[in-house]
């Protein structure tokens, strides 16, 4: 992989965003999707938003070092053991972004109806200025960022295609929100693996 050619740095106030295209090649990606779709006990968890309970519009699993927990929108996820393939990817990602990733939230978007709403990954257990490494496999989907306070700032639109690795660093989570909108276009499944560092 020629990292420089494949690396896109996105410049915006208060954001530190890098996309590495083709971090995983097509063949590897296909294999990963095949194995992970079958071998992970995907769940459609329920969250509480504005006082109401909803089933999330996607499937997920949280993995990581034993004893870690991740809490968001009233949901408490206990880390399941690393799947060996996820653990391998964690090590590969650490080679390009040396952060102490100790967990990953895995998302499976079954089709265009599956999505993720506006949010920042700013849970206290991620600490100040978290580094998040997000690997996309399968169906390319639109990923959008908007500034949290300055709505004059243009939105940032990225197409996260098969095998691309997005790094969100620095104060990105403090100043920006992101979302994966639903789409009416025909969509095959997409896997997204977000590696994170939880501080005990
Ligand atoms: O699926 C994506 O690209 C976004 C996932 C995400 O934002 C998250 O897991 O916090
Ligand atoms: Fe996120």
Q: For the chain of 200 residues, list the mean pLDDT of each consecutive stretch of 10.
A: 79 97 98 98 91 93 96 90 98 97 98 97 94 98 98 96 98 98 97 95
Q: What are phi and psi of 95, to 5 degrees?
A: -65, -30
Residues 6+ apart with CB under 8 A from 92: 23
70 is in an annotated binding site: yes
Give, in degrees to the nearest 5, the angle at Cα 192 between 97 and 117. Answer: 110
Atom of ligand 1 nearest to the CA of 109: 1
**Domains in the chain: ranges and CATH:** 3-47+54-196 (2.60.120.590)
Atom of ligand 1 nearest to the CA of 166: 3
Q: What is the pLDDT of residue 1?
A: 45
- With b for 16 or more beta-carbon neighbours within 10 A and e for fewer, the 104-133 pattern comes to bbbbbbbebebebbeebbbbebbeeebbbb
- Pocket residues: Cβ below 6 A from ligand 1: 105, 107, 116, 121, 134, 143, 160, 178, 180, 192, 194
Tokens of 50: 């504005």
pTM over 0.90: yes
**Which residue, 104, 108, 72, is CA-closest to 91?**
104
Contact 184, 38 (CB under 8 A): no
Contact 8, 21 (CB under 8 A): yes
Q: What is the pLDDT of residue 3?
A: 56
For ligand 1, mutation pick of 56, 107, 125 (most atoms within 8 Å of CB): 107
Question: Which residue do the tokens 């100790």 mark?
Answer: 102
Coil/strand/helix, residue 120 = coil
Q: CA-CA distance, 14 to 130, in Å (whole number)? A: 13
């Amino acid at each position: 992989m020629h990292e420089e050619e494949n690396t896109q740095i996105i410049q915006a106030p208060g954001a530190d965003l890098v996309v590495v295209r083709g971090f995983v090649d097509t063949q590897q990606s296909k294999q990963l999707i095949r194995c992970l779709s079958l071998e992970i006990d995907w769940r459609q968890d329920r969250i509480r938003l504005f006082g109401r309970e909803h089933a999330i519009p996607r499937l997920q699993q949280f993995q990581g070092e034993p004893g870690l927990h991740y809490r968001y929108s009233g949901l408490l996820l206990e880390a399941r053991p690393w799947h060996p393939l996820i653990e391998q990817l964690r090590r590969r990602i650490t080679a390009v972004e040396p952060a102490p990733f100790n967990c990953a939230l895995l998302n499976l978007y079954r089709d265009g109806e599956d999505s993720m709403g506006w949010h920042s990954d700013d849970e206290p257990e991620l600490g100040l200025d978290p580094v998040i490494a997000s690997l996309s496999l399968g169906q390319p989907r639109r990923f959008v960022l908007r500034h949290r306070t300055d709505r004059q700032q243009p939105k940032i639109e990225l197409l996260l295609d098969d095998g691309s690795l997005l790094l969100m660093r620095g104060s990105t989570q403090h100043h920006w929100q992101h979302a994966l909108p639903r789409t009416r276009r025909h969509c095959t499944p997409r896997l997204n693996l977000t590696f994170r560092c939880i501080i005990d």
